[in-house]
Amino acid sequence: MTLGRVAVVGGGINGLCIAWELARRGWSVSLFEQNRCLAQTSSASTKLLHGGLRYLEQGHLALVAESLRERGRWLRDVPQHCHWLPLLLPIYKRQRRPGWQWRVGLGLYDGLALGQLPGSARWLKPDEIRQLHPQLQSGGLLGAWQFWDGQMDEQALGGWVLDQAQRAGVEIHEGCDVREVTTKGELTVQTSVSGITSNYAFAWVVNACGPWAVDLLERSEIPSSVKLDLVRGSHLLVPPSPALALPKQGLFVEVPSSRRIAFLLPYKGELLVGTTEEAQTLHEPVRVSAAEQKQLLGLVEHYLPAWLPIAQQQGRWFSGLRPIVRSRADLSSASREADVQRDGRLLSIFGGKWTTARSLAEQLVNRAPFNGQP
């Protein structure tokens, strides 16, 4: 195994983007992934490249603006694996937030996108909605805002990043569990095939273990200034039936009797419904609970009742674990911003979003120790 000067631990989208960016700037990089790259949180998202309209409500303006810039960049640079998706935000007689609040939010959301949109948000009357989305629950429907966000083929876009990183010279070592790190740049690695444990020394180590970032520090007896809240999010995927055409428009909706937001989206020929938010620990299995299944089927029943029978019979589930940097806010409104901790030759990153993985990598590499010469 040829070792480079920087070791990146974790082959999710954040670790891959960091490794790629370091290699682009002339560093020699080895990436260690305990299983397969892109098989954890980064393959279980809602597949949106978005600013997160709902984060505006919580005042995370800088994060939304950055995410919208990054959305535009993915769509511009990798159009073969992502596209613009029209979304409907239906407004009903009885719902938590008034229609005007969304109108203000969408004005700001589109404004922050700085002219990169295929069209600005517009108001649709119920008969126009029926044309675009005939299956949407129409009882009490006052109208809908139509706006745009980005959607990715998550596997393909992640694969593209992996390929770019390898072309830039990153050595990827899958099946390599990093058991311990030190602040001097040392790693203890156990390979899953042979079970053999080896020690390596690097100039720098980046801990990009996503939900496991704090666990790796604790295991290595390095105090973490950051606490992570781990939040399971589950999704339901439903194939269309011959009698039920897949809508071209996505839905951005309030979860009934809650302020939470959920999505019902066309995704690679199926209906994708999500997500839930359930706090859990690292040691519990990351899989959908009966309560989450009920919640997601409830969303289908409420907004797309014609889809309920096929969702019950043929729906498939997947779940992911979101690492959220702990704040005083509740889990829904806590910021998705990332944090970095430096301990000697070890840098750890916490949190983040798929959409902003490239800018997070650039921010990390723009700072010490990586802003000098390799």
Interface residue list for ligand FAD (CB under 6 A): 9-15, 32-35, 39-42, 44-48, 50, 177-178, 208-212, 216, 233, 275, 320-322, 352-355
Task: Give the start-end residues of each E strand in 153-269.
Answer: 171-174, 176-181, 186-191, 197-201, 204-207, 228-238, 250-254, 261-267
CB of 354 to ligand FAD, least distance (A): 3
Which residue's CB is nearer to ligand FAD, number 64 or number 209?
Answer: 209
Which residue's CB is nearer to ligand FAD, number 57 or number 177?
Answer: 177
Which residue's CB is nearer to ligand FAD, number 113 or number 129?
Answer: 113
> Residue 118, Cβ neighbours under 10 Å: how many?
9
What DSSP letter does each residue of 53-111 carry, written as one string?
HHHHHTT-HHHHHHHHHHHHHHHHH-TTTEEEEEEEEEEESS-SS-HHHHHHHHHHHHH
Which residue's CB is nearer to ligand FAD, number 307 or number 354?
Answer: 354
CB of 273 to ligand FAD, least distance (A): 12
Which residue's CB is nearer to ligand FAD, number 60 or number 353?
Answer: 353
CB of 286 to ligand FAD, least distance (A): 9
Q: Which residue sits closest to ligand FAD, CB atoms considered?
A: 12
CB of 17 to ligand FAD, least distance (A): 8
CB of 246 to ligand FAD, least distance (A): 19
Question: By C-alpha distance, which of 372, 3, 374, 373 is closest to 187?
Answer: 3
CB of 211 to ligand FAD, least distance (A): 6
Cα angle 240, 231, 344 (rounded to 5 degrees) comes to: 130
Question: By C-alpha distance, which of 227, 198, 202, 207 is closest to 343?
Answer: 207
Which residue's CB is nearer to ligand FAD, number 14 or number 295?
Answer: 14
Distance CA 98, CA 142 (A): 11
DSSP state of 210: G
CB of 329 to ligand FAD, least distance (A): 17
Strands across the sheet with 29-33, in order? 171-174, 29-33, 6-9, 204-207, 346-350, 339-343
Task: Give the start-end residues of each E strand in 197-286.
Answer: 197-201, 204-207, 228-238, 250-254, 261-267, 270-274, 278-279
Which residue's CB is nearer to ligand FAD, number 74 or number 92?
Answer: 74
